[in-house]
Amino acid sequence: MTLDFSLFELGIDRVSRRLPGMPRDRVVLNRLFFFVFKELDERYNDRLADYGLNTTTFLALAMLYGNEGGRLNPRDLSDALVSSRTNVTRLADEMVGAGWVDRQASTEDRRRVELTLTSAGHALVESVLPVIWTLVDEQWSDFSATEVAEFDRLLRKLLASLGRG
């Protein structure tokens, strides 16, 4: 698939000419960010499909894998995934149904539920991570370590700025 952002940029240019004062460079960056995100998401989904996963499910499993004891409460998972509680409930149902996750009473508050990675979920994450690492290496292969660090710094700065808004 050929990635071509020019159609969006031409449209943005036309709007910019009609409406002087439009912050064209920032509008282009925002649209480009979404364009890149969509392409990244599609590539992840393509690689994960062989495992019966999509990016959201894999990220949820990876969050559990990386958390202490392989457990997390749904509220924290919702926050980490930037997803609604309703979506996380649906996602948890899917992961439980697949045998990758169990629901258990919280160790701190029995009224709450925790999601816990099962041994099958643990094995799945460990088998998928090297595939994802290869994809990540491919995606960033044209960037130097300095460029990666600068991109990280700039994205964190944008995130902090959005948090103040």
How far apart are the C-alpha atoms of 26 and 16, rounded to whole Å? 12
pLDDT, tens digit, for every residue of 80-124? Answer: 898 999 999 999 999 999 999 999 887 777 778 899 999 999 999
How far apart are the C-alpha atoms of 99 and 119, rounded to whole Å? 9
Are the C-beta atoms of 95 and 61 separated by less than 8 Å? Answer: yes
What pLDDT does residue 111 have? 76
Query: Cα 145 to the chain's mean position, in Å?
Result: 22
Mean pLDDT on 37-46: 94
What pLDDT does residue 137 have? 96
Element (H, E) at 104: strand 101-105
How far apart are the C-alpha atoms of 41 and 38, rounded to whole Å? 5
How far apart are the C-alpha atoms of 56 and 35, rounded to whole Å? 18
Residue 2 is classified by DSSP as -
pLDDT, tens digit, for every residue of 132-160? Answer: 999 999 999 999 999 999 999 999 999 89
Mean pLDDT on 4-28: 90
What pLDDT does residue 107 have? 73
**Look-up: residue for tokens 């700025």?**
161
The vertex-88 CA angle with 84 and 94, nearest 5°, equals 150
Q: How far is CA 154 from CA 36, 39, 82, 88, 138, in A?
A: 16, 20, 20, 29, 21
- Can you tell me whether residue 115 is helix, strand or coil? strand
**Domains defined for the chain, CATH in brackets:** 1-51 (no CATH), 53-164 (1.10.10.10)
Beta bridge partners of 102: 116
Mean pLDDT on 29-51: 93
